[in-house]
Amino acid sequence: MTTVNALSEVAALMGDPARAAMLSLLMDGRAHTASELALSAGVAAPTASGHLSRMIDGQLLAVRAEGRNRFYRLASPDVAHAIESLMALAGTRAPPASKSAAWRRDPDLRFCRTCYDHLAGQVGIAITDALTRGGHIEPEGARDWRLTPAGETFCGRLGIDLPAARRAGNRHFARQCLDWSERRPHISGALGAAIADTFFRRGWAEKLRRSRTVRLTDAGRRALGREFGASV
């Protein structure tokens, strides 16, 4: 059971503005260097190093060394879920002055973005709604989706790698992740990641450099209509 002290420690780690900026950048699912994270937070390198060490100790971040560089990323999908949920809460409860923040008003970010390793925004919700409407997934409890037999067939036809998704260790297979801009859950977990990977692999979507924003290609718009019966 989570103790009050443990909860307050995690909240304090996420609550610092510089650390929050770093975590927000890492929501693009990529690994970033300390210099990139320091730039995103607007702090000096030594200050960034201290923040990163605290987040590693708090199990919010993982780090990997490659040559002279150290690359940081979110420690787990659960961390990404927590950040996305806090963004959703911030969008409804923030004071008016903070509503001018770029991540709130960027239409491209709200349209389609990565939420760690799956798709979010209007496109993520359109995919989730289409899968629900087609009987491919259905709610399972308060926090998960269940892939139906019809969904198994659908995923196989699209080339979504279900065996690999099911081999994803202790990770949730199909999770409900609250979308901060749409205020409804999109599909995440190993299945959500496999769907996103299919979009990128087939040229239906493209990641933009140094951003969570995802560009839906013309082929992707056609695929949404043809394969999912959805439009955005």
Looking at the fold, whether 22 and 119 belong to one and the same domain comes out as: no
- Three-state DSSP at 188 gives strand
CATH of the domain at 22: 1.10.10.10
Looking at the fold, whether 49 and 141 belong to one and the same domain comes out as: no
What is this structure's pTM? Answer: 0.76
- pLDDT (tens, 9 = 90+) of the chain, 232 residues, equals 557 778 888 888 888 999 999 998 898 888 899 999 999 999 999 999 999 999 999 999 999 988 888 999 999 888 888 888 888 777 655 444 444 455 556 888 899 999 889 999 999 999 999 999 999 999 999 899 999 999 999 999 999 999 999 998 778 899 999 898 898 999 999 999 999 999 999 999 999 877 789 999 999 999 999 999 998 8
Looking at the fold, whether 112 and 201 belong to one and the same domain comes out as: yes
Looking at the fold, whether 167 and 217 belong to one and the same domain comes out as: yes
Q: Which amino acid, one-letter code, is at 172?
A: H
Domain hosting 127: range is 100-228
What does the pLDDT read at residue 93?
Answer: 53
Looking at the fold, whether 26 and 106 belong to one and the same domain comes out as: no
CA distance 209 to 207: 6
With respect to residue 91, please indicate whether it lies within any of the assigned structural domains.
no
Residue where the block lists tokens 């992707």:
220
CB 164 within 8 A of CB 132: no
Total count of domains within the chain: 2
